[in-house]
Homo-oligomer: A and B are copies of this chain.
């Protein structure tokens, strides 16, 4: 299929269509309103159903219903809207229902601003709701990867019967890039969901429920979930390294569009003789702890870069332990660090040879 030039938000919408999603429930919020806008037009062409709900609280409960009857369902929102879904997400995860949702993160906390940020990392990877549950979190760094991960998200959701969040930011939603879409999934050939409450003629009813009045039953259920999460941690870690050679001075850890900016900075840094590379988690949960530990061993120090005040640092520390030198650089509130900002940090940590030489020269 030929490539088309497309805005990130619209490409996300189209990817959901290709994945066989025909049910969207959501409420508009900047900077992701282009996704529902696109689907409101696109769904009718493919027999899909688009519902603008009364609120995010309503939306997430509609996803609960849609997923419960076996549909591939989607919502998209941005930070404050995601917070309003906290209770519903816990219900959905408890019931092991597959849903896909997109958080085009905006600057927080509170109303904050509408510019890009990555400051929902903690919420996404831990504690987005009450109780012992986990959601899979995927962080694309290009429009094409957003398309690929949306499609994969629907498969992961169905396979693991678990919510999957694709976490982007305003940049990825608004930038235009050439993308290639796969063929439309043949919905009728998707694996049958034997557990769905989709009518029980000729079989015993399926029950979708998160209430367990007997503690022992709920304990059992929670450990069954935990075993699933352990399995996901084993099998679904995704990451990428770039320029992560042996004997680096610095390994930068960054994800999403931030990682692209870091690559630009690293290219320049390396061109100037610097020894530094990138470790990019693609799945934020499960976090690629082992992969980062391995990559980290090859570097003298680690620099986390995030559009936040440092939420990813817990996971970096949990990967590499207390003995590795670890620093953080971030901006927040919608300010996007530039390649020069990152370069400056790299220089501060470990001046590249030429820079050292220059400095020497200067010091004469």
Q: Give A8 Cβ to nearest chain B Cβ, in Å.
A: 19
Tell me which of B55, B115, B213 contacts A54 (CB under 8 A): B55
Say yes or no for A297: interface residue by CB 8 A criterion: no
Residues of B within 8 A of A258 (CB): none
A309–B109 contact, CB under 8 A?
no
The answer for the CA separation of A161 and B140 in the assembled complex, in Å, is 36
Residues of B within 8 A of A113 (CB): 211-215, 218
The answer for the CA separation of A53 and B52 in the assembled complex, in Å, is 10
Residue of B nearest to A213 (CB): B113
Q: Which of A128-136, A144-152, A271-279, A354-362 contacts B (4 or more CB under 8 A)?
A: A128-136
Chain A 99-118: CB-based contact to B (< 8 A → 1; otherwise 0): 00000010111111101010
Q: Number of A residues contacting the other chain (C-beta, 8 Å)? A: 85
The answer for the CA separation of A119 and B219 in the assembled complex, in Å, is 12
Q: Which of A57-65, A171-179, A237-245 contacts B (4 or more CB under 8 A)?
A: A57-65
Say yes or no for A323: interface residue by CB 8 A criterion: yes
Say yes or no for A90: interface residue by CB 8 A criterion: yes
Say yes or no for A335: interface residue by CB 8 A criterion: yes
- Which chain A residues numbered 315 to 339 have a C-beta less than 8 Å away from chain B? 317-318, 320-323, 331-335
Say yes or no for A127: interface residue by CB 8 A criterion: yes
A130–B109 contact, CB under 8 A?
yes
B218–A112 contact, CB under 8 A?
yes
Say yes or no for A75: interface residue by CB 8 A criterion: no
B221–A333 contact, CB under 8 A?
yes
Residues of B within 8 A of A210 (CB): 109-112
B132–A109 contact, CB under 8 A?
yes
The answer for the CA separation of A47 and B333 in the assembled complex, in Å, is 41
Given contacts A119-B130, A123-B127, contact A107 B215 (CB under 8 A): yes
A interface residues (Cβ-Cβ under 8 A, vs B): 41, 47, 49, 51-55, 57-58, 61-62, 65, 79-80, 82-84, 86-87, 90-95, 105, 107-113, 115, 117, 119-133, 199, 209-223, 225-226, 308-311, 314, 317-318, 320-323, 331-335
Top 7 closest pairs, chain A to chain B, by CB: A108-B131, A110-B210, A109-B131, A218-B333, A94-B110, A215-B334, A123-B127
27 A-B residue contacts at CB 8 Å? Answer: A51-B62, A53-B58, A54-B55, A79-B90, A80-B91, A84-B87, A95-B110, A107-B131, A108-B130, A109-B130, A109-B132, A109-B133, A109-B222, A112-B210, A112-B218, A113-B212, A113-B213, A119-B130, A119-B222, A122-B126, A124-B127, A218-B332, A218-B333, A219-B335, A220-B333, A223-B309, A322-B322
Known: A83-B90, A84-B86, A108-B133. 18 other contacts (CB 8 A): A41-B199, A53-B54, A86-B86, A91-B109, A107-B218, A108-B131, A111-B210, A121-B127, A122-B126, A132-B309, A215-B335, A216-B335, A218-B335, A222-B332, A223-B332, A226-B310, A314-B314, A317-B318
